[in-house]
Amino acid sequence: MKIYTYFDDSTGFGSQDELINLWRLSWSRRGWEPCILGPADAKRHPRFNEFNDRITTYPTANNRAYENACYHRWLALHGAGGGWMSDYDMINFAFFPQVRTRAFEIPEQAYVPCIAWLAPGSCRAIDIIMAYGPVPKWPANCQPEKNHISDMLVFQNRLQAELDLGDPDQAVAREFGEEEWRRFPLTHFSHSRTVAAGFHSKVEAIQKCGRPL
């Protein structure tokens, strides 16, 4: 079974070869076929222009190229036929190939889309982003941001409001350094958490976290 990630070298983060190689190694050792998608894959999607026009109306506090890449990856995944996609700093320690029944699912403890399942043929992720807007009654903990919208906030706000993110008790991933993160099969090594733990890079954190690749 394939596992996809998305890389866009225009985001300004420089080469990620070492990190991507660790990502590839961790997934391939658990029976997956790692595949890398990029901007060319997103641009081949028949809805690219319509989708791109929409996302550029959303405000962002981040580098615009980075934010656009986060959105474009969903086009690339759909164009590749769907399936599983993870960030390339999502390291696999014990997650083996499987199929989910939902059209779209984010099985991370906090619903961060660093790991996601999109059923083959499903446009749900794209449609949610395209149709983003207020819902009649926002949950108290899911108020939309005024000055920043990201794909993460879109999915968290919309899907939590619809109670359609899956069961958090069935999550397979957790952020590095969070409570009990070692018992989850997947670990997301975010920049802020690796720095807070005293590591100079995500690569160093992965190599010295105490969990074998």
pTM of the model: 0.90
Nearest to 155 by CA among 119, 128, 116, 126: 128
pLDDT at 4 (0 to 100): 98
pLDDT at 144 (0 to 100): 53
* Segments making up each domain of the chain, as ranges: 2-208
Low-confidence residues of the chain, pLDDT below 50?
Answer: 135-138
pLDDT, tens digit, for every residue of 96-153? 999 999 899 999 877 789 999 999 999 999 999 998 865 444 455 555 556 788 999 8
pLDDT at 157 (0 to 100): 78
Taking domain 2-208, whether its CATH number is 3.90.550 is answered by yes
Type of residue at 192 = S
